[in-house]
Amino acid sequence: MNPYVFEPGVRPSAAVEGSHARFPLARVFCLGRNYPWSDSDSTPRSEPLFFMKPASSVIEAGDALAFPPLTEAFCHEIELVVAMGKEGAHLTVDSALDHVWGYAAGLDLTRRDLQLVAKAAGQPWECAKAFDGSAPITPIVPVSVCGHPQAGAIWLKVNGVERQRSDLQRQTWSVAEVISLISRYVTLQAGDLIMTGTPAGVDTLAPGDLIDAGIDGIGRIAVRVGPMPSSHPFNLEVGESHHAQ
């Protein structure tokens, strides 16, 4: 007897570099700002903000990127993505990397106008962050191939013009620290992804824009933004720049 009221869908998964096997996805945790916003940025380190996307938002970084509905401020954020391979709770910084299966480069795509409205009202960010296709990633590179990258350029260009550039070693919170922090709040599962924050330079995208982005030694994304959907965006009034993360 079928135990379900209807047949469950196929579990979301991600490609693996150099393999036909797929990496099954559980949840997607995302970290807010995790790099200095300028060379003179002396903001004291404080516990970072975490939010989530559904596993269904993860797509392969292919040739085309759909422009989402209900926004006039579609923004890019290039990030190191951590793929968890083992369950763990209350992990120490020293043991956290033992739970990592691999790494990818990804885009935390954002409807910035919706995010700013949510921020102003003290509301969650799901409408801004968790839309369909909001987390394109490169194939996951196993730790056995790439190790645990502590340094390496992270960058993004739009139409050949560089907008974001930093180095993984400039992250405010290391990968091990990020994993340890999240594991205090929730038991991490095999299949979880963690998007570890983006450098300065986030900005809006327009239909037809060509994104060229990546992380040295991990992966590269080359994708063109599709046309704006026919649905009319909300009339949003916000008093902040669309460039804020």
Q: Considering only CA atoms, which of 99, 100, 126, 104 is closest in space to residue 115?
A: 126
Strand partners, 154: 166, 215
pLDDT at 185 over 80: yes
Q: What is the CA radius of gyration of the chain?
A: 18
Q: 199 burial class (0-12, 13-18, 19+ CB within 10 angstroms)?
A: buried
In angstroms, rounded to a whole number, what is the distance separating the alpha carbons of residues 77 and 164?
A: 8
Alpha carbon dihedral 42, 218, 65, 62, in 10-degree steps, equals 180
For a pLDDT cut of 90, what percent of the chain falls above it? Answer: 85
pLDDT for 60-89, tens place per residue? 998 789 999 999 999 999 999 999 999 999
With 80 as the cut, is the pLDDT of residue 10 above it? yes
Please give the residue that has the higher pLDDT: either 235 or 180: 180
Which residue in 142, 205, 189, 194 sits closest to 171, CA to CA?
Answer: 194
Rounded Cα distance, 122 and 125, in Å: 9
Query: What is the spatial distance between Cα 134 and Cα 235, in angstroms, rounded to a whole number?
Result: 22
Alpha carbon distance 202, 77 (integer Å): 6
Architecture of domain 24-35+46-225: Alpha-Beta Complex (3.90)
CA distance 30 to 143: 20
| Cβ partners under 8 Å of residue 108, min gap 6 | 30, 53, 77, 79, 129, 134, 135, 195, 198
pLDDT tops 90 at residue 201: yes
The domain limits of the chain are 24-35+46-225
Band of the pLDDT at 51, cuts 50, 70, 90? very high
* pLDDT at residue 240 tops 60: no
Is residue 77 within 8 A of residue 211, CB to CB? The reply is no
Q: Write out pLDDT tens, residues 208-229.
A: 999 999 999 999 999 999 999 8
Rounding to the nearest 10 degrees, give the CA dihedral for residues 213, 155, 225, 142: 40
Residue 164, pLDDT score: 97
